[in-house]
Amino acid sequence: MRIAFFASHGGSNMQAILDAISVGNLHATPTLLICNNPDATAVKRAESFGMPVFIINNNTGANERERDNATVKILNDAAVDVIVLAGYMKKIGSQVLLAFSNRILNIHPALLPHFGGEGMYGMRVHSAVLAAGAKQSGPTVHLVNAEYDEGDILAQKAIPVLPDDTPESLAVRVLAEEHKIYWETLEKISEGTINL
């Protein structure tokens, strides 16, 4: 299973998946990182791993369609099977969605279908969970379609929300679960337990 990562910032989820591959827990081949932000820590992480990085942003194509087509070409040239979104802050283009239908995964830091949708990212998600008085939160791995956070759910891990949680403290515990559930889900896809 050949994986391409899309990331915009830290890339700790990408790193956790690369680590799982390195130690033999995940049977997959990392091929490349597509990133819109050349200064992202994710770029440094990919380079340290020896994985090619492609920067695609407003400076690298005349318009969205051109960038979308360039992205499909990069992915096809690398014979990518599955796209792993790991904190990618741009909407996926229609050509990529078409070419990789049901083969694009995302991780969201709350239990979808709650606390998702456009604008729900980062601390906003954890603040909304606390404001709603939810007793549980945790990551969701899901397929990506044209609507934010609405693709089929592949895996979730519920953890308790603690009485004295702040958005930051909850984020730390959810992120720790993200770093396990993402590669575990990919391994299930790789071994055929989950069929995309």
How far out from the chain centre does Cα 109 lie? 10
Binding status of residue 107 toward ligand GRF by CB under 6 A: yes
Stretch that binds ligand GRF, among 55-63, 103-111, 130-138, 187-195 (CB under 6 A): 103-111
Considering only residues 1, 2, 10, 145, which one is a binding residue for ligand GRF as defined by CB under 6 A?
10
Stretch that binds ligand GRF, among 52-60, 106-114, 128-136, 144-152 (CB under 6 A): 106-114
**Cα–Cα distance measured from residue 168 to residue 96, given in angstroms and rounded to the nearest whole number:** 33
Q: What is the DSSP letter of 93?
A: P
Query: Which of 111, 104, 110, 113 lies closest to 81 in space, CA to CA?
Result: 104
- Residue 72 has phi, psi (to 5 degrees) of -60, -40
Question: Toward ligand GRF, which CB reaches closer, 147 or 191?
Answer: 147
Please select the residue that binds ligand GRF; options are 68, 81, 149, 178, rule is CB under 6 A. Answer: 178
d(CA 134, CA 175): 17
User: Does residue 137 touch ligand GRF according to CB under 6 A?
Assistant: no
**What does the alpha-carbon distance between residue 10 and residue 129 come to, in Å, rounded to a whole number?**
23
Is 30 one of the binding residues for ligand GRF (CB under 6 A)? no
Contacts (Cβ under 8 Å, ≥6 apart) of 137: 109, 110, 111, 115, 126, 129, 158, 159, 161, 170, 174
Compute the least distance from the CB of residue 157 to ligand GRF, in Å.
Answer: 12
Q: Which stretch binds ligand GRF (CB under 6 A): 5-13, 50-58, 64-72, 186-194?
A: 5-13
In angstroms, the Cα distances linking 51 to 5, 44, 85, 155 are 10, 10, 16, 27
Q: Binding residue for ligand GRF (CB under 6 A) from 45, 108, 126, 142?
A: 108
Determine the interface stretch with ligand GRF among 4-12, 21-29, 151-159, 187-195 (rule: CB under 6 A).
4-12
Q: Which residues contact 162 (CB under 8 A, 6 or more apart)?
A: 169, 170
55/175 with CB nearer ligand GRF = 175
Identified catalytic residue from 9, 27, 108, 126: 108
Active site residues: 108
Q: Which residues bind ligand GRF (CB under 6 A)?
A: 7, 9-13, 86-87, 107-109, 175, 178
